Amino acid sequence: MSKSAQPKPATCPFTGAGEPPRFPFPRDRQFTLPPEYAAAREGCPVAPVTLWNGQRAWLLTKYADYTAVLVDERFSGEFARDDFPTVTEARRSIDKLEKSFVGMDNPRHDHFRRMLTKEFTTKRMLALKPAVERLTDELLDAMEKAGPPADLVAMLAVELPALVMCDLIGSPYEDHTYIMKLAAGRHGMGQSPEVAAKSANDLVQYCRELIARKEAAPADDMVSRVIQEQVLTDRLTREDLANMLSMVLRAGHDTTTNMIGLGTLLLLRHPEELAKLKADPALVEPAVEELLRFLSPVQFAPRRVALRDVEVNGSTIRQGDGVFAVSASANRDPAEFADPERLDITRDASHHLAFGYGIHRCLGQGLARIELQVVFSKLFQRFPNLAVAEPFESLPFKYDSQIYGLYRLPVTW
């Protein structure tokens, strides 16, 4: 190739006259990510953006930058900082109320996280698998009995994680609707700061009351064990436990719910991949990893703020600038995943970033994997002719939420 024919280097679409573009970008195309992510990966993988309050922030759109920054102690994950980046004013009000380790740096993060690590070991999560299988069978029985069309989100995707979390935590099942409502109140993009703060406070209050009940009448569940091992030995206060349980409850209910709905629809939209899964049930484990990579439902996290000036892949992030490690973009980085826009359930996607990276990597990822593997093993065995009952274009995606998903998924069989 002659010198004149050499390809021109990509230019950054976010620099030039005026302020960088406002983030988050609009999303309204089902499974397609906002085009700005691919443009940034190509031209300026560490891309400048402007937040709702005028704060400068940066998007990490490539896998390598994402993983490097999330283990770099020059960046803080402390939600309580005044300069910590948020996507809405309501999110800022929630961050100020967050007192669990998810919003802390070390050494406080590890101090509190260790209090729960024992409850989420691989051995303990695998011990829950028979219960997950039984609950899934019961929900599929109920769906079959009700007959088509059925809303898979309401009848399966919402119910299964709720039942599993109730079993793990020891909370009454009849409370799950209330818990889901409070979780949604935290994650929506359009609610007021007052509504968001009330949802956050109400969920912590629910956990305070649950702790009091479990302390008075212990049972074989996570809350009772942590009270006995950590609270009554003065290693953990009841208030700290309430905040930690609030985080566990909302994470356990909301994210897996959205993965079940989105994952089912994505497989139905890719019949050749679904046929592979039906033909070889052993593919369910790599299939779940690929679904997690492709879907990455947590849209605007992890987040960090620079503690000093840091150069990342050619861009200087100034002290006080926010950083958004965009999991959805990093998980579709062609430098890490070949042909990343293609769903391929046979690929090894196990190193995806849907659960985050570094010290804040999702504590409950083992349980989420088990739930998803059980669902996608059993759902298409029970309903081999499962199909969407409405046009794809009419399905209500959660464009207005920080946790991407579906509001409903009508299906027939």
Quickly list DSSP for 91-126: HHHHHHH--SGGG--TTHHHHHHHHHHGGG-HHHHH
Task: 139-144: list long-range contacts, CB under 8 Å, 24+ apart.
Answer: 139/163, 140/378, 140/379, 140/382, 140/383, 144/382, 144/383
Domain assignment of residue 141, given as a range: 3-412
Per the structure block, which two tokens stand in for 334?
A: 């062609």
Residues 6+ apart with CB under 8 A from 27: 33, 34, 299, 399, 404
The torsion angles phi and psi of 327, rounded to 5 degrees, stand at: -55, -45
Residues 6+ apart with CB under 8 A from 149: 389, 410, 411, 412
- Provide the b/e sequence for 347-374 (b: ≥16 CB within 10 Å): bebeebbbbbbeebebbbbbbbbbbbbb
In a 13 Å sphere around the CA of 317, the CA atoms on its Cβ side amount to 28
User: What is the count of structural domains for the chain?
Assistant: 1
Q: What is the mean pLDDT of residues 141-149?
A: 96
CA angle 230, 235, 240 (to 5 degrees): 80
pLDDT at 7 over 60: no
Find the range with the poorest average confidence among 83-97, 105-119, 202-216, 280-294: 83-97
Q: Tens of pLDDT along 10-36? A: 567 777 667 899 999 999 999 999 999
Better-scored residue on pLDDT, 13 or 304: 304
For the domain that residue 132 is a member of, what is the CATH number? Answer: 1.10.630.10
Q: What percentage of the chain has pLDDT greater than the value 90?
A: 80
In a 13 Å sphere around the CA of 4, the CA atoms on its Cβ side amount to 0
**Inter-residue contact 378 to 265 (CB < 8 Å):** no
CA distance 13 to 240: 44
Confidence (pLDDT) at 305 = 98
Per the structure block, which two tokens stand in for 336?
A: 């890490």
Treating both helix axes as pointing N-terminal to C-terminal, what angle do 271-279 and 284-295 enclose, rounded to 10 degrees? 150
**Spatial CA neighbour of 322 closest among 2, 13, 11, 20:** 20
The pTM of this model reads: 0.93
Q: Tens of pLDDT along 390-413? A: 999 999 999 988 899 999 999 999
Quickly list DSSP for 143-178: HHHH-SSEEHIIIIITHHHHHHHHHHH---GGGHHH
Per the structure block, which two tokens stand in for 376?
A: 């996608």
For strands 322-325 and 56-60, give the pairing: parallel
Confidence band of 381 (pLDDT split at 50, 70, 90): very high
CA distance 171 to 210: 7
For 3, the enclosing helix (H) or strand (E) is none
**Spatial CA neighbour of 85 closest among 108, 60, 53:** 53
